[in-house]
Amino acid sequence: MGKAEDFLMKTTIKKDVGGDSLLRNKWTSYQKARLNCSLSGAFPLYFDVIQDVVSVDENTFYGLFTTYANGLPASAICAFEKSEIDRVLNGPFKTQDSDMSFWTEAKASTVPSPRPGQCYNDSLKTADTVLGFIVDHPLMHETVQHKYGKPVFYLPGEELQQIEMEAAPGVQNGYVFFAGSNRGKVYKIASQDKGQEYKTYVSSIYSPFDETQVIWSLKHHEFAIFFY
């Protein structure tokens, strides 16, 4: 428990083939932003390791997070809206004067044009001033906040590895998550998005193996779940 570094999400543009000299054969549209998945309180619990990501539409993404292995095991599912991700990626950058100084917000006047992270017709023609800024400012200043201000699901004492989800038939804004653990269990989690809150509960727990083993892969297809 306690303050920790948040998971970093990364984005690039499909047509990005790198720069002509600087960042040759490397991404020129590369942007990183922190994702906040945590439980607030006097001693906040931060979920710093992302295990998997799923979605049923293009507007909301669900990340499966765990705590670090050397801490108390716990897992959480946090929801992130695309609009919030876009807001952070279009916001201020972080800057650092030296390797020994703290990261601070970069002044808007220092951001070159075209703005780093935007789509280019030809990344090979990107100016060195823009590429240099990208090299020195890889991280966005603000953090992508999870929807509802808390995880949509929290499971103490268990490390979940993989996740799948589907729409719940007959339930408005209802979804079903299937999550595989490092102890060979599969959790079926029923949920419903009620706007300002998100209701979840574990409806079933399956133990498909005779021996305890990590579920490394979990795939949903039609009415079946495949795992190994």
The domains of the chain, with CATH numbers, are 1-157 (2.130.10.10), 159-228 (no CATH)
Give residue 79's pLDDT. 94
Give residue 113's pLDDT. 86
Question: For residue 125, what are the CA distances in angstroms to 20, 27, 47, 114, 116?
Answer: 7, 13, 40, 12, 13
Q: Burial-class residue 9 by CB neighbours within 10 Å (0-12, 13-18, 19+).
A: buried
156: alpha, beta or left? (left if phi > 0; alpha if psi -120 to 50): beta
Rg, the chain, Cα only? 20
Give residue 163's pLDDT. 95
Give residue 69's pLDDT. 67
pTM (predicted TM-score): 0.83
What is the residue-level pLDDT of the chain in tens, covering all 228 positions?
333 444 556 566 667 776 777 777 777 777 889 999 999 988 889 998 999 999 988 899 999 999 976 678 999 999 999 999 999 999 999 998 888 889 899 999 999 988 887 776 777 777 788 888 888 888 999 999 999 999 999 999 999 999 999 988 889 889 999 999 988 899 999 999 887 778 999 999 998 877 778 887 777 766 666 665
Question: Considering only CA atoms, which of 81, 51, 52, 56 is closest in space to residue 69?
Answer: 51
Give residue 227's pLDDT. 66
How crowded is the C-beta side of 60, counted as CA atoms within 13 Å? 14
